[in-house]
Amino acid sequence: MTNLLYSFTGLILFIFGFFALIVCAQPLRKILGCNVMATGIFLFLVATSYRADAAAIDPVPQAMVLTGIVVSVSVTAVALVLATSIRQASDPFIARRKKKAKGDARKKQ
Amino acid sequence: MISAESWIIVPVVAPLSGALLSFLIRRGSVIISMTAAALNGLAAIILVKQFLQAGPAVYAIGGWNPPLGITLHTDGPSLIMLAMTAVAAIAICLYAWGYFSLRIDEPVRIGRAERQESFFWPLWMLQLTALNGLFLSGDIFNLYVTLELLGISAAALAALSGKTSALIASLRYLLVSLLGSLSYLLGVVFIYKTYGVLDLVLLQKMAGMEPGVIAALAFMSVGLLLKTALFPMHFWLPPAHANALAPVSSILSGLVVKASFFLLFRLWFDIFSPVLPASAFSLMGFLGAGAVLWGAIQSLRQKRLKLLIAYSTVSQLGYLFIAFPLAFAGGTSQAWSTVLFMAAGHACAKIAMFMAAGNILLHIGHDRIKDLAGIRAHLPITSFAYAAAGVNLIGLPPSAGFVAKWMMLITALSTHQWLWALVLLAGSLLAAAYVFKVTSQLFVIPPDTTLIMRHRSAPLLEWPALILALISLLMGLMAPYPLRLLEIGVTPEVVMLLGGGP
């Protein structure tokens, strides 16, 4: 029974994450939405390894979850880097400050 | 040095070590990547030779057999994709070498091109690793890992040019491909929950009509369709492909979208085809028809050359999906041959086209179609490559596109599916329109204008494009050879069908 509870929680998390990914406009929220989706899948995956006999728990899903977490961390890192550089490139305030810093450097030379 | 059966790991290991080494040794990155691509080509030749002698091979990594271990395996379709990728990889390496060395010589923005180059080689090698891993892998979870690797390296490559528009397009690309692969992963979990295995060959024997499998197939298909950019889920493709650097556009448009399509096709036809209803195949066909028409119309409306080519990718991908309902009527083996011809021909042609567009952009500094008149005088080889690749997209004989469309048309007419035949013909007509829209500009030299070229034409930039375009153009003449690969390991009646058919 607990097994089913975990599975359904995982699926609900997946749907929440998906909702956030579609509805939210900010890149950071979208990235977090993806993370929540991934976590939901991992929870679902871990719940499949459950067996009534505690000694016979299936190790394969656990290996998959570990791999999945590594993949998810690296994708999140890439996405965050992209989001940061978009912000730096498109934000007029940051761009002006950068330009000014460049101009100052040139004056010193 | 390497035993006969372990050549199968070379297409994965060689580019991976190439990626790591070229990241560490910045100076030698060109030579390291070229060596890795050459080794990959050699491995592809040896694997094909072994396959012709001994048939399909299975290699259990580390000696662990399924269901616990992960296997690599070769069969006809995977080898054709592998060989096509190997040829394209060598051409792209040569082109990228020429591209970056020309850009680095440019006086403006010193340093930017060098930085781009130092990141390009490792990422491109990672991309090649992921592609080869995807073609060879026989384990659905391992396939998820290769899909993610493909997505990450593709998004990073698309962001290389550093312009804001490219960054925004590549973040969107990354999120879309992440959504696609997570959806695929959820499907994998459903399959594991139902059967307790991940190996493709084991799954093939077990596939049945359980509810878990239907859910799995739905999630996996939607995820992969999103990654393949099938209409109406193609919105992310044109900006990401058109704003990237020229070698990157070639890689993304020619190879990366084919990989997720290959996986989708394998799942549908090798594993679940007995389970699926005919209506599911028709749905794919309708989406494909939408893609063919919508992509071509959008392509005609574009004012920039690279966007035109990117929309033409959306259109050409549609043909691959029209093959679904036709294959359902015509048999799996014929489906594979049609689709592989279409995919391989389009890959070579599209890479050549993006290379040609990259040359034009590099030499005259813009890619506005209406100002392209007279390029032929300065870049004759590039213009010819563009036109030759265009012949393949339209599907004129003797190109690979012609053979594939001919096979589809014959099946459509012989099984009385008139609708698909009409879409195929209309798509070809529209393709002719958008190809000629550009070639008519390239080849007409107006008497009064003079174009100012920024660089002298470089052979490394022009010849790879021409050779790939000619391969796509002449592939139709060599049709029996790749098809022979598909005949190994299938029943004799299918061989008869292939031999007797067009």
| Mean pLDDT, range A9-14, rounded to an integer | 94
Q: In degrees rounded to 5, what are phi and psi of residue B450?
A: -125, 125
Question: B140 CB contacts (<8 Å, ≥6 apart)?
Answer: B188, B191, B198, B199, B200, B203
Residue B490 scores a pLDDT above 60: no
d(C-alpha B420, C-alpha B392), whole Å: 20
Confidence of residue B112 (pLDDT cuts 50, 70, 90): confident
The CA-to-CA distance between both ends of chain A, in Å, stands at: 72
The predicted-structure confidence for B346-383, as pLDDT tens digits, reads as follows: 999 999 999 999 999 888 888 888 888 878 888 889 99
List of chain A residues whose C-beta atoms are within 8 Å of the C-beta of residue B142: none
Classify residue B283 by burial, with Cβ atoms within 10 Å: 0-12, 13-18, 19+: middle
From the CA of B146, how many Å to the nearest CA of chain A? 10
Instruction: Write down the mean pLDDT value for chain A.
Output: 85
Helix, strand, coil share of chain A (percent; to 5): 85, 0, 15
A60 contacts B192? CB cut-off 8 A: yes
From the CA of B148, how many Å to the nearest CA of chain A? 7
> Which chain B residue has the Cα nearest residue A70?
B145
CATH code of the domain containing A9: 1.10.287
The predicted-structure confidence for B48-100, as pLDDT tens digits, reads as follows: 888 888 888 888 888 887 767 788 888 888 999 999 999 999 999 999 999 98
> Which chain A residue has the Cα nearest residue B156?
A78
Question: B304 CB contacts (<8 Å, ≥6 apart)?
Answer: B242, B367, B368, B369
Pick the more confident residue, B155 or B333. Answer: B155
The predicted-structure confidence for B271-323, as pLDDT tens digits, reads as follows: 887 778 888 888 999 999 999 999 999 999 999 999 999 999 999 999 999 98
d(C-alpha B418, C-alpha B413), whole Å: 6
How many domains does chain A fold into? 1
Residue B7 scores a pLDDT above 70: yes
Partner-chain residue, chosen from A61, A67, A90, that has the shortest CB–CB distance to B192: A61
**Vertex B7: Cα angle to B253 and B66 (nearest 5):** 90
B175 contacts A30? CB cut-off 8 A: yes
The predicted-structure confidence for B129-148, as pLDDT tens digits, reads as follows: 999 999 999 889 999 999 99
User: Which of B116-125, B213-222, B492-501 is least confident?
Assistant: B492-501
Pick the more confident residue, A24 or B478. Answer: A24
Whether A67 contacts chain B with CB within 8 A: yes
Q: What percent of chain B has pLDDT over 70?
A: 93
Pick the more confident residue, B489 or B465. Answer: B465
Residue B498 scores a pLDDT above 60: no
Question: B373 CB contacts (<8 Å, ≥6 apart)?
Answer: B441, B442, B444, B445, B446, B449
**Residues B243/B235, Cβ–Cβ less than 8 Å:** no
Partner-chain residue, chosen from A18, A64, A89, that has the shortest CB–CB distance to B167: A89
- Residue B5 is given by DSSP the state G
**Would you give the distance in Å from CA A20 to the centre of its chain?**
12
Whether A43 contacts chain B with CB within 8 A: no
Put simply, the chain A residues between 68 and 87 with a CB less than 8 A from any chain B CB are 68, 71, 74-75, 78-79, 82-83, 85-86
Partner-chain residue, chosen from A34, A45, A85, that has the shortest CB–CB distance to B178: A34
> Which chain B residue has the Cα nearest residue A38?
B182
* Tokens (6 digits) for B22: 């070229």
Residue B500 scores a pLDDT above 90: no
Tally of CB atoms within 10 A around B142: 22
Partner-chain residue, chosen from B155, B156, B186, that has the shortest CB–CB distance to A41: B186
From the CA of A36, how many Å to the nearest CA of chain B? 11
From the CA of B68, how many Å to the nearest CA of chain A? 8
Pick the more confident residue, B453 or B341. Answer: B341
Tally of CB atoms within 10 A around B182: 28
**Residues B229/B314, Cβ–Cβ less than 8 Å:** yes
**Would you give the distance in Å from CA B495 to the centre of its chain?**
27
B68 contacts A82? CB cut-off 8 A: no
In angstroms, the Cα distances linking B243 to A35, B174, B185, B211, B400 are 27, 15, 29, 42, 28
Give the number of A-B residue pairs with CB atoms closer than 8 Å.
71
| Mean pLDDT, range B407-433, rounded to an integer | 90
A60 contacts B198? CB cut-off 8 A: yes
Dihedral sign for Cα atoms in the order B161, B165, B169, B174: positive
List of chain A residues whose C-beta atoms are within 8 Å of the C-beta of residue B198: 60
In the 3-class helix/strand/coil scheme, how is B27-96 assigned residue by residue? CCHHHHHHHHHHHHHHHHHHHHHHHHHHCCEEEEHHHCCCCCCCEEEECHHHHHHHHHHHHHHHHHHHHH
A75 contacts B178? CB cut-off 8 A: yes
Partner-chain residue, chosen from A58, A71, A83, that has the shortest CB–CB distance to B171: A83
- The pLDDT, as a whole number, for residue B110 is 67
Pick the more confident residue, B391 or B201. Answer: B391
List of chain B residues whose C-beta atoms are within 8 Å of the C-beta of residue A31: 175
Instruction: Write down the mean pLDDT value for chain B.
Output: 87
- The pLDDT, as a whole number, for residue B162 is 85
A78 contacts B156? CB cut-off 8 A: yes
Residue B412 scores a pLDDT above 90: no
List of chain B residues whose C-beta atoms are within 8 Å of the C-beta of residue A66: none
List of chain B residues whose C-beta atoms are within 8 Å of the C-beta of residue A38: 182, 185
| Mean pLDDT, range B174-203, rounded to an integer | 90
Residue A104 scores a pLDDT above 80: no
Q: What percent of chain B has pLDDT over 90?
A: 51
Question: A82 CB contacts (<8 Å, ≥6 apart)?
Answer: A27, B155, B159, B167, B170, B171, B174
Query: Structural domain of residue A45, as residue ranges?
Result: 2-108
From the CA of B55, how many Å to the nearest CA of chain A? 31
- The pLDDT, as a whole number, for residue B305 is 93
Confidence of residue B153 (pLDDT cuts 50, 70, 90): very high
d(C-alpha B118, C-alpha B189), whole Å: 38
Tally of CB atoms within 10 A around B41: 18
* Tokens (6 digits) for A51: 């067996």
- The pLDDT, as a whole number, for residue B60 is 86
Confidence of residue B390 (pLDDT cuts 50, 70, 90): very high
Whether A36 contacts chain B with CB within 8 A: no
